[in-house]
Amino acid sequence: AGIAPLRDHRGETDRYGNELRLTQVAVVDQLAAAAELVKGKRDQIPVAVVRGLPVAATAGDDGPGVVATLVRDAAHDMFSLGTAEARAAGLREAATLADDHATGPAPVGAAEVRAAVRAAIATVAGHGSGSLLSLPEPDGGDDRPVVRCTAAEPGDPEALVRLGSDAHRLRSALAATGLGSTARFEPPGTVLVRVVASGAGRR
C-alpha cells in the first residue's frame, strides 16, 4: 500500500566493513509482525496502525505488490521440503549419483580441498566401513586428490561388494561438500576415487 515490499541492502556496507551482496529485507513482513504484536491472537483487534517507519512512499502506483515480490514459485522455494522430505530427497540423490556431480558450496584452494576430502573419508570410515581408505600425498603432477579404497580381503566376494558400497558412500560424502568425483576399479580389490571438479567451479 504505497511502500516497496523490500528494502535492498545490496552494495551497502555493514558496521564491520563487509559489503552486502545478497541482503534484502522484507519490510512488509516486518510491518505485519509488528502489527500482530499489537493485535494479538485472541483480542479480536482487526487493525493496527504502525507509525514511524523510516521508508519513503512510492511515487504514483503502489509498486510491484507483495505477491509478485515475495511469493516464490515452487522452483525457487528454498524451504519447500520439511526435514523428513529433505532427508529422503538427499538419499535419492545419493543413490543416483552421477560422475562429476556435486552440490552445495565447494572448498577453494588445494589445502581446503584436501581437508574436505579427509573429512569425507572420516565420515565413511567412522560409520562401519570395512574397506581401507587412504589419501596419498600429491606426486607433483596432477594435484587433484585421489582416494585409494582397498578391500579388506581382495579375494573375498563379500569384501568386494563392501568395497563398492564404501566407494559410493565416499563419493556421496564428497558431493555433499561440493566436490565431484569419479570411481575406477583396479583389480584385484582397489577402487580409485578421483576428485575431478568442484561445485563452484562448474557454475
**Tens digit of pLDDT for each residue in 135-161?**
998 876 677 899 999 999 998 999 999
Four-way CATH pick for 99-202: 1.25.40, 1.10.3470, 1.10.760, 3.30.70: 3.30.70
Contact between 77 and 85 (Cβ < 8 Å): no
**What's the pLDDT score for residue 59?**
63
Q: Would you state the cell numbers that stand for residue 72, as one nine-digit string?
A: 516464490
- Cβ-contact 186, 174 below 8 angstroms: no
Which pTM was predicted?
Answer: 0.63
Mean pLDDT of the region 181-186: 95
**Where in the sequence of the chain do the CATH 3.30.70 domains occur?**
99-202
Cα separation, 21 vs 4, in Å, equals 19
Examine the pLDDT at 165 and tell me if it is beyond 90: yes
Give me the amino acid identity at 79.
F
Do the beta carbons of residue 92 and residue 166 sit within 8 Å? no
Query: Any idea of the CA torsion for 17, 20, 26, 27, to the nearest 10 degrees?
Result: 40
The C-alpha atoms of residue 7 and residue 23 are separated, in whole angstroms, by 9
**With pLDDT > 90 as the criterion, what percentage of the chain qualifies?**
35
